[in-house]
Amino acid sequence: MNRRAFLQSTGALGLLAASPALAESAAETKKPPFLDLKMLGKRNQNRSTVVCQGGMVCSSQPLATQAGIDILKAGGNCVDAAIATNAVLGAVEAASNGIGGDLFAILWHQKDQKLYALNASGRAPYGWNLDKAAELGLTEIPQQSPLSWSVPGCVSGWGTLSERFGSKPLSDLLASAIHYARDGFPLSPIISTYFAWPSGMAPHMAEVYHPGGHMPKYGEVFKNPLLANSLEAIAKDGPAAFYEGWIAEAIVKKSQELGGFMAMEDLRDHTATWVEPVSSRYRGYDVWEIPPNGQGIAVLQILNMLEHFDIGSLEPNSAEHLHLFIEAKKLAYEDRAKYYADPEFADVPTEWLISKEYAAQRVKLIDPLLASTKVGHGDPKLDSDTVYLCCADGQGNMISFIQSNYAGYGSTICPDGVGFPIQNRGESFSLDPNHRNKLEPHKRPFHTIIPAFLTKDEKPVMAFGVMGGDFQPQGHCQVLMNMLDFGMSPQQAGDQPRVEHTGSSFPSGSTMEAGGALVFEHHFPDQVKQTLAAMGHEIRDTVDAMGGYQAIWRTDDPLIYYGGSDPRKDGCAMGY
């Protein structure tokens, strides 16, 4: 499964030109202020690394980044800044994230000299199971339906992080988001394209995002007073306002109206979970990820195989370099499809999957000259993927933070009166009764969103992440190779063009056919593609921007932060 923004999955980009109703809005972009839509997808070069000492925030929208900086300057720490930044992102970039979605975070706590990891993903309703899916005649879970809903974990993540590590009340942290939701903000270039969908494609959220039937455009001021009301309730009463109050009642009512199974009990019983992050060493650095139900350990599996090759001696993004990376990815993703699931319900052999011994076995399957077309999963001895942001403060605390609705606007269903859509994360469950990731009551589905962290000699080095659903482990590995193998700066590592291997098997039950295919961003030479094709890879047309990356690199004595922010998004790195 290949996660794309809602407007791409529905073909809305093409509709900008094809639909008379939308063609007018496309033509209007040629009036001041100018915006060439075709150029947006080709931005992946030429920014400077931001360097500072007092604190730093990197996110995909400048207003959100600034909100985090304001919190830091007011004496808040990186956890406070991350919550404030995320809350604003939910208001200004609602297609990608919001309080209807889930959250994961990895935190370096300077006083404790320790990494902490939080899994704030939600679970399936108690009343939703395989028998009911069979009664409905389903072979997969539909996206634009409350059947794809799992309990939104975002607000529980805010509360859990704030209670344990924050220094300011939620009322302070949500103030900027409430302001932008109620008083409005001008739509930034890339985010404005997320509004370009015909209202009929998502009737249960059109009232919120196409007010009065009008599609907001680049530079227009957009307001979401219903979201402001929801955020004000959370600011006043904390997470209980979301999971027990009128917001919860609205969620349940909409689910019942549309044939879903969400109940008040599901929301009341939700909890975020502190987990132990897992790691593997690559080129002398320890790369940290959150264990399943997410896909973070795929990064560790890929890197464990790549360390058997002298990647740094190759030309960056050469056919030889990309071939080795792609073949390792194929192997890791087959294990992902087979084994990654909620460990509270399934036997997930995480330690074995990320071991060096296992990687040494699997890497033997990589032919350095020929692409594989059929790949199997490993066989353990068993008893039986957004917005990404990172923040750092003057005390040395750092947080790697990711939050998502899954597909663009999630399920595309907004409960009445709340101002936000509910995620479609439950779509990733398998309906195969023999699969580890099968649908079960109160179970967390397989997740694509993954924050990451880098340490060296047990000291913090970098908080980083790459958005993009199924693509995220591939993005993590590409930016790490750019830095650790090729010596690029945090900004340069994100500026490089990216390649994606598509078509791998997926934990919902789909399987890879004929080795999958490669798609490329702009700026890859034709010779690289031709060489990869000669090695047996299927090459498909060039695509626009892949993923969205943010990173903060740290050095000590004195403490200095280096920030990188993806030019594929509207955002930026800021520090002081």
Residue positions annotated with a catalytic role:
386
Query: C-alpha 328: how far from its chain's center?
Result: 22
Taking the C-alpha atoms of residue 282 and residue 71, their distance in angstroms, rounded to an integer, is 35
CA atoms within 13 A on the CB side of 330: 26
Lookup: tokens for 59: 């996110």
Beta carbons of 403 and 105 less than 8 angstroms apart: no
- SS3 state of residue 575: strand
* 94 closest CA partner among 217, 3, 208: 208
User: Residue type at 84?
Assistant: A
Beta strands in 77-205 (DSSP E): 102-109, 114-120, 185-186
Residues sharing a CB contact under 8 Å with residue 322, sequence separation 6 or more, in sequence order: 499, 518, 528, 532
β-strands 517-520, 387-393 pairing: unpaired
Beta carbons of 163 and 155 less than 8 angstroms apart: no
Taking the C-alpha atoms of residue 355 and residue 488, their distance in angstroms, rounded to an integer, is 27
Burial class (CB in 10 A: 0-12, 13-18, 19+), 163: exposed
Q: In 3-state terms, the chain is what percent helix, strand and coil (to 5)?
A: 40, 15, 45
